[in-house]
Structure 1
Amino acid sequence: MDKLKPTVRCLKCRKKLKGRSDKKFCNDHCKSAYHYKKSLEGELKFYNDVLRILRNNRKILKLYNREGKSTVRCGVLLEEGFNPKFFTHYWKNSKGDVYLFVFEFGFLKRSEHGKDKYVLVKWQEYMEH
């Protein structure tokens, strides 16, 4: 019994392919467009992953800083999924402390009485100067 040969289609435009059995594209344009789209998908995945982390960090900082300034143990934020490696900008105060910000919510890691904590602040107009 002869096996039916499956129809092979161009990976880009889905037209039936003729010729070699290992052919993947119907022409150079389809091949180039397909690989360009794939390269963009890789870039977009990275961008979307970072944006997701930043949004989550902002949500957590907002949740634990309702008053404009607060202090919370590092472990509490980390358990919520906070990732301190991702932030949008920083601000250095007159004492030399560098606050890392996720949009309008900032954090500064401190150690008090042997416990790691974050001082949380909200962006203020005076910080622009």
Structure 2
Amino acid sequence: MKTCVRCGDAIVGRVDKKFCCDGCRSAYNNSINKQRDRNIRQINSRLRRNYKILSELNTGQKVTASKKKLISKGFDFDFFTQAMHSSHGITFYLYDQGYFPLSNGSYVLIRKEVPKRNKLQE
């Protein structure tokens, strides 16, 4: 007789069953995915924080902010969603909010125009 992978109870039913019930199957899979999901949540949290900081500081289409100011607000330069080469070097983006370094150590904050979708694209 086969036993449940999670709790060890006897399994009744199909020959290839691994769990005694949906609760054990769900709990087992949740425990397996726990670390991976924790990492994803931590990364998303840092991306959200960076996005919020850029959104608060970028009140226009183009604003300058010092590295010190960004760091003091909790900005983490290691987390961004896209990096693009441009005429002024590399521009880093967090979704539609972007920034690129200036030679004096400050950063220009920009907002990328997101194209509007028309009904034919939907």
What's the TM-score once normalised by structure 1's chain length?
A: 0.66
Q: Tell me how far 1:118 sits from its aligned partner.
A: 1.2
Structure number with larger C-alpha Rg: 1
Counterpart amino acid of residue 124 in structure 1: E
Instruction: Find the aligned partners of 2:75 and 2:111 in 1 and give their Cα distance.
Output: 17
Pair 1:125–1:29, CA change in 2 (3 A): closer
Give the secondary-structure state (helix, strand or coil) at the position aligned to 2:93. Answer: strand
Partner of 1:29: 19
2:36 matches 1:43: yes
Q: Tell me how far 1:49 sits from its aligned partner.
A: 0.7
Counterpart amino acid of residue 68 in structure 2: G
Partner of 1:87: 80
- Identify unmatched segments of 5+ residues in structure 1: 1-11, 13-24
Which of 42, 47, 53 aligns to 2:46? It is 53
2:92 matches 1:100: yes
Instruction: Find the aligned partners of 2:38 and 2:58 in 1 and give their Cα distance.
Output: 30
- Identify unmatched segments of 5+ residues in structure 2: 1-5, 10-17, 116-122
Offset from partner CA, 1:44-81 (integer Å, 9 cap, x none): 11111111111110110011111111111101011111
Partner of 2:59: 66
Give the secondary-structure state (helix, strand or coil) at the position aligned to 2:77. Answer: coil
Counterpart amino acid of residue 29 in structure 1: F
Instruction: Find the aligned partners of 1:32 and 1:78 in 2 and give their Cα distance.
Output: 44
Partner of 1:123: 112
Which of 77, 92, 110 aligns to 2:102? It is 110
